[in-house]
Amino acid sequence: MSEDDWKKQLNIPKKDTRPQTDDVLNTKGNTFENFYLKRELLMGIFEAGFEKPSPIQEEAIPIALTRRDILARAKNGTGKTAAFVIPTLELVKPKINSIQALIMVPTRELALQMSQVVRTLGKHCGVSCMVTTGGTNLRDDIMRLNEPVHILVGTPGRVLDLASRKLADLSECSLFIMDEADKMLSRDFKSLIEQILSFLPSSHQSLLFSATFPLTVKEFMVKHLNKPYEINLMDELTLKGITQYYAFVEERQKLHCLNTLFSKLQINQAIIFCNSTNRVELLAKKITDLGYSCYYSHARMKQPERNKVFHEFRQGKVRTLVCSDLLTRGIDIQAVNVVINFDFPKTAETYLHRIGRSGRFGHLGLAINLINWNDRFNLYKIEQELGTEIAAIPAQIDKSLYVAEDSTAVPVPFPIESLQDNTHQPMQAQVNQYANSVQQQIPPQQMQQQFIQQPQPGQQSYPAQMYQQGIPSQQYVQPQY
């Protein structure tokens, strides 16, 4: 088959015509063919909609193919996942029935997404990928490990459990990858990672990727990496395509402010972050009571429920997701164009990962922060640490800052099944079940402080810039879904 013939037979998705920023366009002009990848892998890359490598992919892929250790730092949403999945698929030998690559991630949702990326890019390669996380049936993992597995994607606790029970044989695993390496080497996971490494061959290759690298990563590099090739593409920390605003509101006015934002913004999909699981559940109930389509997710939920919410939100079956910091890392949903910090985060690192859920892969996005009096010092501190400016929200937000002209060009992560009439209805049962249980635990006075009385008639509620032209909530027209 000639060079042109095999490309003509590919099932290429519709081209993403949305504008992109220099975060992904500032490359040296290489193509994926320049890396001399096997044709089966190139077929998966092009059929996934990839056109040319981003800067981090351009830097990391050829180095990883030489079997050298890598310590790579790049912004959220610039293609880090494919930067290590592509060389992994190239280096793994399908004819050898053993685990040859281990990809470690901090959350179960990220593990599911990562395995999907491996399967999508490697669908013509004959490579078998297995995902294993806590909260799932161990027996299912044992049955799966009786079949050939080439790439194992998982969270540290479950992978260590399988390795220590000698259910997962890592003795021939020559490639060790950590995504979100800063989180993987935090106090929560560091000891588990150290134990997992004892099951790998001493000569394995290590690839570490993250947007932030604290001192713990430096210590790990000195101890475990062999003369790593260091990549740092963080000339600035925040994505260029994300426009950041704050709205200064009192705590009890936040819900009314959010309702105003829903009526004024053109939201494709939005993620709303809260600082606690209780507030996630309560806010989801309030949004549902306002008549909007809303799911929520946090770490206290059962794993099947988390999986359902995650997959259906990715499929676009619901417009809004309320969550804790469970979903701040690595979650790649191209359709998300608005992130709202209902509760302002405490650290610059958390803020950076939260707003990075919009503006993926150089596209445009909007981050809006609801700030109260107690958050003003955190706002200033985060601006200083990130070297960015969070401006006061204007009366009208220019849609060109965050809305794609052709919404049909937004890639869909998973095939969308035929939508039933009720797919856009709120998860009323889920919301009510959790919210009712939480309400029983919180005194009424406390709930009144937290959530969030509508302003009294004639009361000045919001920054004059944004809301002096606002209309009472009773007159809001619910957006069409």
Q: Is the pLDDT of residue 415 over 50?
A: no
- The CATH T-level fold of domain 5-232 is Rossmann fold (3.40.50)
Q: For residues 439 and 432, what is the distance between their CA atoms, to the nearest angstrom?
A: 10
CATH number of 242-413: 3.40.50.300
Q: Can you tell me whether residue 479 is helix, strand or coil?
A: coil
Q: How confident is the model at residue 284 (pLDDT cuts 50, 70, 90)?
A: very high
Report field, pTM of the whole predicted structure over 0.75: no
* Alpha helices in 332-474, H assignment, sequence order: 348-355, 376-386, 428-439, 444-450, 464-467
Q: What is the rounded average pLDDT of the residues 153-176?
A: 95
29 contacts: CB under 8 Å, gap ≥ 6: none
Q: How confident is the model at residue 239 (pLDDT cuts 50, 70, 90)?
A: low
How far the first Cα of the chain sits from its last, in Å, is 46
296 contacts: CB under 8 Å, gap ≥ 6: 280, 281, 283, 284, 309, 321, 322, 323, 427, 430, 431, 434
> Under a CB-based contact definition with an 8 Å cutoff, are residues 84 and 64 in contact?
yes
Q: How confident is the model at residue 444 (pLDDT cuts 50, 70, 90)?
A: very low
> Which residue spans of the chain are classified as CATH 3.40.50.300?
5-232, 242-413
pLDDT tens per residue, range 352-385: 888 887 766 556 789 999 999 889 899 999 998 8
Q: For residues 306 and 317, what is the distance between their CA atoms, to the nearest angstrom?
A: 15
> Under a CB-based contact definition with an 8 Å cutoff, are residues 379 and 311 in contact?
no
Strand order in the sheet with 320-323: 294-297, 320-323, 269-273, 336-341, 365-371, 242-248, 391-392
- 3 compared with 347, residue with greater pLDDT: 347
In 10 A of CB 385, how many CB atoms? 14
Q: Can you tell me whether residue 74 is helix, strand or coil?
A: coil
Q: For residues 325 and 321, what is the distance between their CA atoms, to the nearest angstrom?
A: 12
Q: What is the pLDDT of residue 237?
A: 60
